Amino acid sequence: MVISSNVRIKILTVFFLLAAVLLLTRLFNWQVVKARELSRLGASQHQTTSTVAARRGSILASDGFPLASAREAWLVWASLKEIKDSQKVTKQLATLLAPDPEPKEKTSTQSGVLTDAILDERTKEELIAEEEERIGRLFQKEDVVWVPIKHKITKEVKEKIESLDIPGIGFDLEEDRAYPEGTMSAQVLGFVGKDTAGSDKGYFGLEGFYDLTLSGTRGIKSWEKDASGNPILVGVSRNIVSMEGLSLKTHIDRTVQFTIEKHLREGIEKYGANGGTVIVMRPQDGAILGMASYPSFDPDNFASSDKSLFTNPGIGDSFEPGSIFKVLVMAAALDSGIVKPEDKCECTGPHRVAEYTIRTSTDKYYPGSTPREIIKNSDNVGMIWAVEKLGTDKLLEYLYRFGIGRPTEVDLQGEASPDLRDRGEWTSVDLATSSFGQGVAVTPIQMVQAVGAIANNGRLAEPQVVDGIVGQGWEQDVKPRIGEVVLQNKAVEQITEMMVGAVDYSLARWSKPLTGFRIAGKTGTAQIPIEGHYDKNKTIASFVGFAPAPQEGSGQAAKFVMLVTLREPTSSPWADATAAPVWFRIAEDIFPYFGIQPE
Amino acid sequence: MTKFKLYTLGQQSSNVKFGKKGLWIVILSFLGVVFAGQLIVSSVLAGKGGELAVLQNRTLDLSRQNQYLKQELASQTSLLSIEAVSRKRGFVKPESTVYINLSLPVASIIH
């Protein structure tokens, strides 16, 4: 059969048309129907996404020195399938990753009191054996191809492991925290731990309070890569910029901090105390120049520290202040005009209040005492005379204005504030005992803030640690929080002179080199309440003072106010033999630093 | 009327042929140059991607090194280090501080 050429052309045309339709159908299928799926598959091959970590901000001292800063650290991990001899690798890693044994701390030769708690007595060999067991357990995990072995190892340890050239062992960059000044100001700084999601989070102190500011925000980087993994410049890329954490510039003066920590440690050892706190504040603006408590913890090794040490006693522990509280009560009495400097108290002997008889600490009495003499002699009976004239309502009003009974809102995480009893709950006994600082509770920071108002010409300045926030190329000051006027000028001058007199009265006994300086201060020895009664032997010894004490009408300002408290000193329960000498030894060192000269 | 047409009235048909052919040559040459240029740029950029990766890694390394050196510097200049070094070298704390009055008079008027 002969097919004509026209027919052949038509058959071919139909054939080609069918082929074209088939092709178009297939193209439609790949480019429209399966477009999304294929695009995703393609992207997974040539698109790569990585998280850009945000470096945590630093915490700087007043001179810009980093007290805490971000440090490069590494996560060491193992790809289990590539580990050939797991026992050998375990031994090799354990030797390098086992922690160092805790240093043995010295004990006091005088009183046998430990200066730091010994928490761990394991030897290096025991620690290596424990580490070996831990790593061995990780390597024995089934259905797992990858295990993290240890987080936050240092660069030096990483390099040592790398030099072993173990197949299957790798490293991921992490961030750790460095503390160039060691344990100094640990309880002010706080530490960085992990939250429930495994991300870094600050706890306690500045790390806790300013966690959000310090943390920063992670970024995401997404780009197309070629077969070698290099970025394709003309390809699609997406970049969400990371924001590094902001840094904090604090008021903490390293010299002051170093000095108070050194003398506090020495004082605790010398006087056999359980612990103690020192706070130094600039009264004009509430700047915390130094804050130390002992015992403390190592923020670089917080996991193995006693958790009870994380709370900063300077802001979190309350105590009955004892006689240091007298300056606030007497200042209130003078400011209200109810007590005048020339008034005299009978004060012939013990004072009966309800069913109680209240005596002076020495059982000595000073009939006809003026307020100045009451403060000088730390006369409990004289104070009852003053507070009974003042009355509960006025006393509570002034205490509240001094900041007692409410948080200072200092920028540190962990502040506690004991409540003042409601007006209706105050009895005559409570009024009497509160005049000499028993039956009321304060935190050290509240006490410093209150006495700071006297040093600042009657105006309360709320304590503050952070001076400014520092970013990339910018800095913003944190304004001081200046509160209300608590005392008028006249009362400030009167109480200041009384406190100067109180210091001069015993200055020769405490510290001779400090003669000629105008220091306003007060000792306080408070009994510790235990199960409804006061312990006869245990005390909290305190000294609070400011210098240079302004002369009447001079316009001069005190450069600092400082509180020293020692808990349960055993060499002597009295503050004038324990806390006061520590205060004066610190003052001796910081007077030249502050340019405070003798008169 | 184009220039070609004014010059070559007598040879119009051959110039039209040249015009069409020439135009195609120009277009194809231009496209060829564009394609070649794109090929060259793409291959250069492909290489640059690798260089960029190297530079980015170098920047990260330098940044990490800088941070490490800052920490080392801080560690060596900390008060703890300074105290330890000074104690080792025999420095001691002064036993007492003497305050002197800088405005010592040389002479004074006697009334």
Q: Which of residues 40-69 of B touch A (CB under 8 A)?
A: 42, 45-46, 48-50, 52-53, 64, 67-68
- Chain B residue closest in CA terms to A593: B97
pLDDT at position A111 is: 33
Gap between the Cα atoms of A374 and A79, Å rounded:
76
Is residue A168 within 8 Å of A82, Cβ to Cβ? yes
pLDDT at position B19 is: 78
pLDDT at position A392 is: 96
pLDDT at position A106 is: 40
- Inter-chain residue contact A71 with B71, CB threshold 8 Å: yes
Pick among B44, B59, B69, B78 to test the A interface (most A CBs inside 10 A) = B78
- Inter-chain residue contact B79 with A69, CB threshold 8 Å: no
CA angle A285, A289, A291 (to 5 degrees): 120
User: Is the overall model pTM greater than 0.90, yes or no?
Assistant: no
Selected residue with higher pLDDT from B65 and A279: A279
The backbone torsions φ and ψ at residue B33, rounded to the nearest 5 degrees and listed phi first, read -65, -40
Is residue A521 within 8 Å of A514, Cβ to Cβ? no
Residues 6+ apart with CB under 8 A from A240: A219, A220, A221
Contacts with A228 from chain B: Cβ below 8 Å: 50
- Inter-chain residue contact B78 with A513, CB threshold 8 Å: no
Residues 6+ apart with CB under 8 A from A309: A187, A295, A296, A297
The backbone torsions φ and ψ at residue A132, rounded to the nearest 5 degrees and listed phi first, read -60, -45
Q: Average pLDDT in the B69-96 region?
A: 90
Q: Which of residues 7-26 of B touch A (CB under 8 A)?
A: none
Residues of chain A with pLDDT under 50: 105-118, 508
- Inter-chain residue contact A226 with B78, CB threshold 8 Å: no
pLDDT at position A76 is: 94
Which of A66, A231, A254 lies nearest to residue B52, judging by beta carbons? A231
pLDDT at B16 over 60: no
pLDDT at position A12 is: 93
Pick among A58, A59, A183, A232 to test the B interface (most B CBs inside 10 A) = A232
- Inter-chain residue contact B68 with A70, CB threshold 8 Å: no
The β-bridge relationship of strands A59-60 and A247-250 is: parallel
Contacts with B70 from chain A: Cβ below 8 Å: 66, 69
- Inter-chain residue contact B79 with A232, CB threshold 8 Å: no
- Inter-chain residue contact B80 with A181, CB threshold 8 Å: yes
Tell me, what's the ipTM? Answer: 0.73
Would you say the C-alpha torsion A201, A202, A204, A208 has a positive or negative sign? negative
Q: Chain A contact for B96, CB < 8 A?
A: yes
Is residue A185 within 8 Å of A20, Cβ to Cβ? no
- Inter-chain residue contact B53 with A229, CB threshold 8 Å: yes
Would you say the C-alpha torsion A147, A152, A154, A155 has a positive or negative sign? positive
- Inter-chain residue contact B78 with A255, CB threshold 8 Å: no
Residue A405: DSSP 8-state: T
pLDDT at position B56 is: 84
The model's confidence at residue B104, banded by pLDDT at 50, 70 and 90, is: low
Q: Give chain A's length.
A: 599
Is residue A437 within 8 Å of A524, Cβ to Cβ? yes
Is residue A564 within 8 Å of A519, Cβ to Cβ? no
pLDDT at position B6 is: 47
**Residue of A417, A463, A478 whose CA lies nearest to A442:** A417
**Residue of A431, A438, A485 whose CA lies nearest to A461:** A485
- Inter-chain residue contact A180 with B71, CB threshold 8 Å: yes
Which of A69, A255, A513 lies nearest to residue B96, judging by beta carbons? A513
Percent of chain B with pLDDT over 90: 30
Q: What is the pLDDT of residues A33-43, one digit of tens each?
A: 999 988 888 77
